[in-house]
Amino acid sequence: MNTTSTGASGSGVEGRRLFEYEDVPSHYYKLTREELHERGRIAKEKLGDDLLVLAHHYQQDDTFWFADVAGDSLYLAQQASKTSAKYIVFCGVHFMAESADILTRDDQIAILPSLAAGCSMADMADPDTVEDCWDVLTEICGEESIIPITYINSSALLKAFCALHGGTVCTSSNSEKILKWALDQGKRVLFFPDQHLGRNTGNLLGVAAAEMVLWDRNKDDGGLSNQQIKDSKIILWDGFCSVHCRFTAAQVESARLRDPKVKVIVHPECPEEVVQAADFSGSTNKIMDVIKAAEPGSSWAVGTEINMVNRLAREMKERDNKKVEILNPNVCICSTMYRVHPANVLWILESLVDGTVHNQISVPKETADLARQALDRMLELSK
């Protein structure tokens, strides 16, 4: 059994073996799409109810094909927490498979088809740096005045950190509910790792710009004065998504010039000015729901990862002649998500049929127990 015992998303953290993994046999990459699908169908049929394949919307089409369930991070976490399947194969990135392992029973096995599928945003908040930030903030304000909230795009260790200090986890689907819960307690929030989701959610909740400060992890005391920290309601970590930061307000303006009737919808990981220029913003599931519910023949420019946008464009054109296009004319692909090749998935499934587990994601028990508290709180608050 080739396993990975992991406690963190960032490279260099003890327990994470990011590049020390068994290679997929080369002949898998020589298979045609039809062969991949046919052999995948046979393997899934043999595994039956013992298998659940989860896939994030950003997966490439031939990997997405294997999915039993597709969705955004919140929906997939919910499905992982409910399944009785022995094997949960997560076509996503590392933190997603970690969450699946945390939310399932000890006798269930979470698998990531490619251990190289990480998340650059998650890597921007490592446990030691967050701990250092926390020490500064609590010295200035007192621990009782701060609640840590981590975006689900983070390591299990950071989810455990949030539980240890009375906080929880959020996704782009529920960030408004989660931050409102924290702020309603009269406390300031340390929000990491994505500054843009935090700022855009703060705007939705009516938090003043001056009350949202940016913690620069490369500067002493985050580059902030004691007074700025004391006056804040939300302290934003300086992480970001490399895909969503490629969208700009100028692209929104260009889309409107090309088509005055176009509606623009973007992911809240986009910068503030892009979200404010758009007509709508929301998680990948919300983006899909809004466009599917729109008038037939309407046109949409979408600011998120291109694999999802292309699938949605094909479906909407065939269903009710809606026009859906990517907001950025240059390709915006999640390169780490793309490392889950269909050959990886087929290799995992056929190995399971033969009784061999590769790429198991196993979070150490102490970390998993705490992280589960944070994730369970998130799921409860999301109802």
114 and 138, same domain (yes or no)? no
Same domain, 208 and 253: no
Domain end: 237, 264, 287, which one? 237
15 and 76 belong to one structural domain: yes
Number of H helices and number of E strands within the chain?
16, 15
What was the pLDDT predicted at 22?
58
Other Cβ atoms less than 10 A from the Cβ of 32: the count is 8
* CATH number for 86: 3.40.50.10800
With tokens 């890597």, the residue in question is: 123
Token pair for residue 198? 């935090």
| 218 and 141 together in one domain | yes
User: What amino acid occupies position 215?
Assistant: W
Residues 85 and 17 both lie in one domain: yes
Residues 100 and 166 reside in one and the same domain: no
Q: Are residues 145 and 82 in the same domain?
A: no
Could you tell me if 7 and 103 lie in one domain? yes
Q: How many domains is the chain built from?
A: 3
Assess if residue 378 is contained within a domain: no
Range of the domain at 320: 248-326
**51 and 102, same domain (yes or no):** yes
Cα 276 from Cα 249, distance rounded (Å): 8
pTM for this model (two decimals)? 0.90
Instruction: Verify that 105 and 162 share a domain, yes or no.
Output: no
pLDDT score for 23 = 78
* Residue 196, CA distances (Å) to 131, 234, 271, 319 in order: 21, 12, 5, 33
Task: Please tell me the distance from the alpha carbon of residue 308 to that of residue 304, in angstroms, as a whole number.
Answer: 8
C-beta neighbour count of 210 within 10 angstroms:
10
Is 376 inside a domain boundary?
A: no
358 contacts: CB under 8 Å, gap ≥ 6: 1, 2, 22, 111, 347, 348, 351
Domain boundary among 237, 265, 298: 237
- Phi, psi (deg, nearest 5) at residue 227: -70, -40
What confidence tens digit (pLDDT) does each residue in 49-78 have?
Answer: 999 999 999 999 999 999 999 998 878 988
Q: Examine residue 102 and state whether it is found in any structural domain, yes or no.
A: yes
Q: What angle do CA 193, 246, 284 make, to 5 degrees?
A: 65
Enumerate residue ranges in the chain where pLDDT < 70: 1-22
Residues 25 and 103 in one domain: yes
370 within domain boundaries: no
Residue 373 lies in a domain: no
Residue 30 near residue 44 (C-beta atoms within 8 A): no
